[in-house]
Amino acid sequence: MTGFLDNLLNGLALGSVYALIALGFVTIFKASGVLSFTHGSLLLLGGYLVAVLHDDIGFAGALAVAVLVTAAVAGALDRLVLQRVGGTDPHAAHVQTIVTIGIDIVLVTDLARRIGGDLLPLGDPWGNSVSDLGPVTVADSRIAAILVSAMAIGGAFALFRFTPWGLSLRAAAEDGEAAALMGVRLTRVRTVAWCLAGGLAALAAVFLVAFPAPGLERTTGQIALKAFPAAILGGMASPVGALVGSMLIGLTEAFVAGYQSELHVLGEGFGDVAPYAVMVLVLLVRPAGLFAAKGAARV
């Protein structure tokens, strides 16, 4: 029973961190139709900034700087590079998606070179302390992950719902052309979306490398890709779907890892790749994702 609760909490913590990343994917997708493959490097950038800054300005300061800088970098990439690609080509969003891969190669190469073979500690206040919650013992970092993610996600949803930007975002996602005619400045809407996604990715980095993970390493960025299955499960354009998808992915990973010994046919470390197995299974049944709205193709 405690095993089950352990896994449940682990899964929720993992899921809430994936949700931070997946929400970023979905926001960018809604605003511009682009799938961001740059997320791995944005996440790595956020983590790296916290790692190098926390000694001098403290963890909280480092985190704040990391979130802001990563948001700014993401916004700048969109404004200075992506928006200039593709022009009036109807497939512009697809071309821009491939450009995000190119950007990712450059950024990840550079960050990986700086990190080298090291494991960088982020100096987070939770360290390796644990708390007792009734029958189970939980790492404080996990509790923090759930709480902080919940707040950040709540904040993001408030932005979607209550700000002019959120309204513009929804209008742009419905019909970009019509929104533009109504005076929505699409370029700004999508740049803000990228900023938000960048900030969320930096925040996620902190919890991905917190205890019991050993620290930031050059491959940490690849974890961001697991938010893709989450976003796909949720139908790519739905923030709520992304949230649910993330939880499903987090729980799957935690339970598969937790019951590793019973699932040994699948091989050691299957938990790490289980999200992708889930994604394939879901796509087999529902190619457009679990929560995708059914719409007829307009001609």
Interface residues with another protein (CB under 8 A) are: 35, 37, 81, 84-91, 93-95, 97-99, 101-106, 109-110, 113-114, 116-118, 177, 222, 225, 228-229, 232, 236, 266-270, 272-273, 276-277, 279-280, 283-284, 287, 295-297, 299
Q: Which residue number, 106 or 158, has a Cβ lying nearer to another protein?
A: 106
The count of residues in the chain is 299
Q: Which residue number, 72 or 81, has a Cβ lying nearer to another protein?
A: 81
DSSP annotation of 245 reads H
Coil/strand/helix, residue 136:
strand
Q: What is the nearest approach in angstroms of another protein to the Cβ of residue 133?
A: 32
Q: Which residue number, 5 or 283, has a Cβ lying nearer to another protein?
A: 283
How far is it, in rounded angstroms, from Cα 190 to Cα 192?
5
C-beta of residue 38 within 8 angstroms of C-beta of residue 103: yes
DSSP annotation string for 206-220: HHHSSTTS--B-TTG
Q: Which residue number, 212 or 269, has a Cβ lying nearer to another protein?
A: 269
Q: What is the nearest approach in angstroms of another protein to the Cβ of residue 2?
A: 28
**216 Cβ neighbours under 8 A, 6+ residues apart:** 44, 47, 48, 51, 115, 119, 120, 121, 122, 205, 209
217 closest CA partner among 299, 108, 298, 123: 108
Q: Which residue number, 102 or 125, has a Cβ lying nearer to another protein?
A: 102
Q: What is the nearest approach in angstroms of another protein to the Cβ of residue 112?
A: 8
C-beta of residue 213 within 8 angstroms of C-beta of residue 23: no
Q: What is the nearest approach in angstroms of another protein to the Cβ of residue 182?
A: 16
Q: What is the nearest approach in angstroms of another protein to the Cβ of residue 98?
A: 6
DSSP annotation of 234 reads T
Q: What is the nearest approach in angstroms of another protein to the Cβ of residue 26?
A: 12
DSSP annotation of 89 reads -
Q: Which residue number, 152 or 275, has a Cβ lying nearer to another protein?
A: 275
